[in-house]
Amino acid sequence: MLACVLSGCGNGDSLERFDGPTMGSRYSIQYVRHSSTPGPKAVQAEVEKILADVDQQMSTYRSDSDIERFNDLPANRCQKMPASILKLVRVGEQLSEQSAGSYDLTVEPLLNLWGFGPQAREEKVPAAQALAEVRQRVGYQHLHIDRDQLCKDAAVEVDFNSIAAGYAVDTIAARLEELGIHNYLAEATGELKAAGKKLDGSPWRIALEEPRDDQQVAERIIAVDGYGVSTSGDYRNYFVQDGRRYSHTFDARTGAPVAHTLASVTVINPSALMADGLSTLLLILGPERGWDYAEKHDIGAFFVIRADTGFVTRTTQAFERLSGAKTE
């Protein structure tokens, strides 16, 4: 997603911007600074502390993170965890139950086996026996929380990549509000939240990309105020074998990448965490099941579906109501 550039001026206020690396990607912050709000160096220090904490707790790409230390434990063990991790496990359990197990936080062994995870060896379709063995170590039902501990009764491994960035954005947004910053756009690895107005008084406007891997093309422009926005797609991380395309989005019930025509889903929600998780869930469910789920639960969702002539789009009523979206 591409944040449109701010313009305009007035009343001595100014636009502040900064960005940097995070979670193997980038983050960026834009905010309207008043005379009573802190400058960019102080705000950046606060933002980067949050991002560092999320990385230390939830990264699957560092062996010393809280979640990787848990992943290294054998079955029938527990580990004391920060409240943030326990919160995400509860959110993951909720999404798993609502998707009949298609969405699952314990898919890391599958990601590694298929070549997409932090311990991946090669991108290829695995042998049936290897897949069957790994599937024994996948399933949200093997996790449970005991007070401040996360426990497992099988050698499962947790992967927060479908919700960690959304959680980070929500945490950053809450900190900006505490600092007296009420007009901002906060983004991390493509997940974002916007509140208030731009410097010229117009709303924050977000461009949603057409799901292409060769160039960035704006498919839709939406206005956002007080909501998180997340897009999940299968067009950035995939491999092709024997003429078939395999994406990094997995249905935990089958142990395999999804195989349908839904190319991307954008979700708008008051919580960037929930937008992040729901966009992944809908992408897993596909164009029919995902659409039915979104309508049933009044989710603001924008679907981009592959067709013979290119792409077709569908938007739920909640998406139109929440986003003020229109074709540009």
Q: Over the stretch 21-73, which tens digit does the pLDDT of each residue have?
A: 999 899 999 999 999 999 999 999 999 999 999 999 999 989 999 999 999 99
Better-scored residue on pLDDT, 178 or 261: 178
For the stretch 249-283, what's the b/e string if a residue is b when 16 or more beta carbons lie within 10 angstroms of its beta carbon? Answer: bbbbbebbbbebebbbbbbbbebbbbbbbbbbbbb
Task: Please state the rounded mean pLDDT for residues 175-196.
Answer: 97
Q: Over the stretch 252-278, which tens digit does the pLDDT of each residue have?
A: 998 888 888 899 999 999 999 999 999
In the three-class reduction of DSSP (H, G, I as helix; E, B as strand; rest coil), residue 86 is classed as: helix
Instruction: Choose the weakest-confidence range: 100-104, 213-217, 239-243.
Output: 213-217
Q: pLDDT at residue 213 above 60?
A: no
Contacts of 76 (CB under 8 A, 6+ apart): 152, 153
**Tell me, which fold does domain 2-55+165-323 have in CATH?**
T-fold (3.10.520)
Specify the CATH superfamily of domain 61-152: ApbE-like superfamily (1.10.3980.10)
| pLDDT at site 98 | 93
Q: Phi, psi at residue 3, to the nearest 5°?
A: -80, 130
**Nearest of 25, 283, 58 to residue 158 by alpha carbon:** 58
- Report CA 314 to chain centroid distance, whole Å: 21
Instruction: Choose the weakest-confidence range: 87-91, 141-145, 255-259, 289-293.
Output: 255-259
Q: Give the sheet arrangement for strand 204-209, strand by strand.
A: 2-3, 204-209, 218-224
Measure the CA–CA gap between 206 and 203, rounded to whole angstroms: 10
Q: What percent of the chain has pLDDT over 90?
A: 69
Query: Where exactly are the structural domains of the chain?
Result: 2-55+165-323, 61-152
